[in-house]
Amino acid sequence: MDYEKLLATRTANMKASAIRELLKVAASPGMISLGGGLPSPDSFPLELMHELTERVLRKYGAAAMQYDMTEGFGPLRRALIDYCATKGVDAKLENIYISSGSQGFLDAIGKVLVSPGDIVAVEGPTYLAALQALNAYDARYAMIQTDDEGLIPESLEYVLRTNEVKFVYTIPTFQNPSGKTIGLKRRIAIADIIQRYNVLLIEDDPYSSLRYRGEHLPTIKSMAPEHVIYVSTLSKIFAPGLRIGFCVAPEAIGKWLTIVKQGVDLHSSTYAQALGAEYLLGGFVPPQVEKIIKIYQPKLDAMLLALEQNLPDGYKWSRPEGGMFLWVEGPKGLDMEDVYHIAVKKNVAFVPGKYFFPNPADGIETMRLNFTCVTEEQIHYAIKALAEALQEETLLVNHA
Amino acid sequence: MDYEKLLATRTANMKASAIRELLKVAASPGMISLGGGLPSPDSFPLELMHELTERVLRKYGAAAMQYDMTEGFGPLRRALIDYCATKGVDAKLENIYISSGSQGFLDAIGKVLVSPGDIVAVEGPTYLAALQALNAYDARYAMIQTDDEGLIPESLEYVLRTNEVKFVYTIPTFQNPSGKTIGLKRRIAIADIIQRYNVLLIEDDPYSSLRYRGEHLPTIKSMAPEHVIYVSTLSKIFAPGLRIGFCVAPEAIGKWLTIVKQGVDLHSSTYAQALGAEYLLGGFVPPQVEKIIKIYQPKLDAMLLALEQNLPDGYKWSRPEGGMFLWVEGPKGLDMEDVYHIAVKKNVAFVPGKYFFPNPADGIETMRLNFTCVTEEQIHYAIKALAEALQEETLLVNHA
């Protein structure tokens, strides 16, 4: 059978995540990968799982294994009210929805809101899987400019003034891919702009708990609650393999997110949600976050130091106070994909930054580095090798 | 903010699952519900969960809590090769894909294959949530006629001859909603037709293990492997709350299912998949299926007997040899939704059959009855009350 001729027109717009293809190379034996986005397996609370299982079976019994409401497992939704309050997000039960990872909401929001050709305003660079989710609904993108402090409010305002934007999508804290964080003043300005332009903003916040230094910043949701859907996850504070995301949304949108989710998976795993509920209710988040910070902070510091020691003039990089990524910008004219091919020969992998831009002609000279899944020794070696690869590529370019 | 004006055009085509709305009434205290589609909570292998947890943590450790491949957790996919062989389905690893419930594949298949306006051929009646998943992609439907033995091959052939059909969707065994099973001769005819017309068929098979009497029938997949995507689930042989569906598909389609799933949820819960893998590998399926049959068979028999004893002339109903549902057809002119409103006053709920037809003008005189979540005593009472409701409605209609 010729299966290709059966494909829908939208399918032609899709392609395998470039990161995943690159990561196949990155997964080769002996490779030091700065390319992934995985939490360290050392960070997972494995030792807790028996106790959580015990609690789940005792408290919920068969209900933890049964079909459940599309909106989410009641005890988890209720537990998230308190958790969201720690983020300054004021939520009632009817505002909290569970999905299969926060990715589930990127898909559902696209399905509910995006008609083919609708414009979504995103930071450049932005989260690749958000583009992937929205591409399936034929979204177009308006790119908001960023600098060292992330999204530039004036650029947001310009984009809103010159485009009919369906919604704005941003990761304000320790952004994936850049590691950058939008400062307080800018958050206030953004909250003001979206209210003045009466536009919806999706605040994707998976990383804010992973702050290794500096002060926690208020969410944009807390400043413009009616204009923001707050999306987060238990992936970074518990375990990604449970696939539990959540959002805080106006009920008028949440009801549509629920209807589309019915068609997508009926509901997320009740059992995983029950484990998540007991994890939150048992007070396990604060010690777990403390444990994660102890694991990640030295890795981040090692990478910042290695970049300082090895990268030549003409390079700059983000200096995040948390999260899992940082971002390197080389001189204009450098193609990081070429550097990538040199680096993998030295057994070091990363992700060329252009993949994180809605327009693939942008960000040619950038790269994303992840530091959570490698040791400090590996970081030291890898950044040195990367500096060599950059130098070799620069020589090649200058000769050509 | 006026959120409604933000909705995508496709969102207007969606509505909350009618069953779910009706089930809100069905969930009232004191109601005997024949309306749901839930497995009996008594059937879940709760006592196994500690042992499975132990095995998962010992064998897979942190890998069970980590991000994983979109295609599915390797050990589960490998275990499913043997499981599928028990269904006569010959699968290699690269043909097996995992999703968040089999619903995940209905969504993914719609996304990959259905361009707006494409025609999907479905049985009338068919699975409501399949229509819901495909509606999101603006599918249209061609209805294949059914009789006591399910889908009529001649009608399938007529539909294929007179329409350009993207694919055929069928639940051949103990169908939801009708409980009907396509016999062996018809399966052979269907396999022949889809090969002659070179059309893809989705064989949705959640219930075939729940056979209480009679002989197991070969899957259509086993007869026309290149033309069939076989979709099934652990929901009915383990627990639905884990949300583990799987399919056996040609790799040329599976690769697209994987790409769209990346955007939808990255992958299904690794932890739930690891529990599923250990459940299959531990040999727990056969005793569990035996236990379920012991629970459900007397309920089915009680319902068949009660229908025999209580329903007046002019009614017919399916006599399934397994599954969770049966189907009642009343005389033409009767509106089962009116009967529904009388029945709920007698504390008995069911689902009017018209909701399971692509054209809501069909099946007005039909209803779906579920027997897995009620006791034999409740079944006896409920069918008696239902017969009274039918009689009252008939009197009303004859008076009008």
Q: Which residues of chain A fall below pLDDT 50?
A: none
| Whole-number pLDDT of residue B316 | 97
| Whole-number pLDDT of residue A18 | 64
Which pLDDT band holds residue B400 (cuts at 50, 70, 90)? low
Buried b (16+ CB within 10 A) or exposed e, B293-328: beebbebbebbbebbeebbeeebebbebbbbbbbbb
| Whole-number pLDDT of residue B146 | 97
Bridge partners (DSSP) of residue A248 are A96, A230
**DSSP character for B60?**
T
Q: Dihedral of CA A85/A90/A95/A99: which sign?
A: negative
Complete DSSP assignment for A222-289: HHSGGGEEEEEESTTTT-GGG--EEEE--HHHHHHHHHHHHHHHSSS-HHHHHHHHHHHHTT-HHHHH
Predicted confidence (pLDDT) at residue B310 exceeds the cutoff of 90: yes
Predicted confidence (pLDDT) at residue B23 exceeds the cutoff of 80: no
CB distance A327 to A300 below 8 Å: no
Q: What's the rounded Cα separation, in Å, for the pair A132 and A114?
A: 13
Best of B115, B265, B324, B355 to disrupt the A interface by mutation (most A CBs within 10 Å)?
B265
| Whole-number pLDDT of residue A16 | 59
Predicted confidence (pLDDT) at residue B27 exceeds the cutoff of 80: no
Instruction: Report the chain B residue with the minimal C-alpha distance to residue A42.
Output: B62
For residue A282, count other CB atoms closer than 10 A to its CB.
Answer: 13
Predicted confidence (pLDDT) at residue B380 exceeds the cutoff of 90: yes
Which phi and psi (to 5°) does residue B346 adopt? -95, 15
| Whole-number pLDDT of residue A24 | 74
Distance, first Cα to last Cα, chain A = 48
Predicted confidence (pLDDT) at residue B159 exceeds the cutoff of 80: yes
CB distance A90 to A225 below 8 Å: yes
Which pLDDT band holds residue B398 (cuts at 50, 70, 90)? confident
Kindly report the pTM of this predicted structure. 0.96
| Whole-number pLDDT of residue A400 | 66
CB distance A150 to A321 below 8 Å: no
| Whole-number pLDDT of residue B154 | 98
Predicted confidence (pLDDT) at residue B9 exceeds the cutoff of 80: yes
- Tell if the CB–CB gap between B265 and A103 is shorter than 8 Å: yes
Edge to edge, what strands does the sheet with B316-317 contain?
Answer: B316-317, B325-329, B366-370, B351-352
Predicted confidence (pLDDT) at residue B20 exceeds the cutoff of 80: no
| Whole-number pLDDT of residue A172 | 98
Task: For chain A, state the CA radius of gyration.
Answer: 21
Structural domains of chain B ordered from first start: 3-44+287-399 (3.90.1150.10), 47-285 (3.40.640.10)
| Whole-number pLDDT of residue A324 | 98
Residues 6+ apart with CB under 8 A from A232: A87, A102, A204, A205, A206, A245, A246, A247
Which phi and psi (to 5°) does residue B367 adopt? -145, 155
Asked if A41 is an interface residue toward chain B (Cβ–Cβ < 8 A), one would say: yes
For A92-138, the pLDDT digits (tens) are 999 999 999 999 999 999 999 999 999 999 999 999 999 999 999 99
Complete DSSP assignment for A292-345: HHHHHHHHHHHHHHHHHHHPPTT-EE---SBSSEEEEE--TT--HHHHHHHHHH
Nearest to A112 among B8, B115, B137 (CB): B8
The residue-averaged pLDDT of B356-374 equals 95
Give the ipTM of the model, two decimals please.
0.95
The residue-averaged pLDDT of B378-395 equals 95
| Whole-number pLDDT of residue B239 | 96
The C-alpha of B331 sits at a distance from chain A's nearest C-alpha, in angstroms, of 33
- Tell if the CB–CB gap between B46 and A53 is shorter than 8 Å: no
Q: What's the rounded Cα separation, in Å, for the pair A55 and A51?
A: 6
Asked if B69 is an interface residue toward chain A (Cβ–Cβ < 8 A), one would say: no
Asked if B325 is an interface residue toward chain A (Cβ–Cβ < 8 A), one would say: no
Predicted confidence (pLDDT) at residue B104 exceeds the cutoff of 90: yes
Bridge partners (DSSP) of residue B317 are B328
| Whole-number pLDDT of residue B72 | 97
CA atoms within 13 A on the CB side of B333: 9
Could you give the percent of chain B with pLDDT greater than 90? 91
Predicted confidence (pLDDT) at residue B226 exceeds the cutoff of 90: yes
The C-alpha of B121 sits at a distance from chain A's nearest C-alpha, in angstroms, of 14
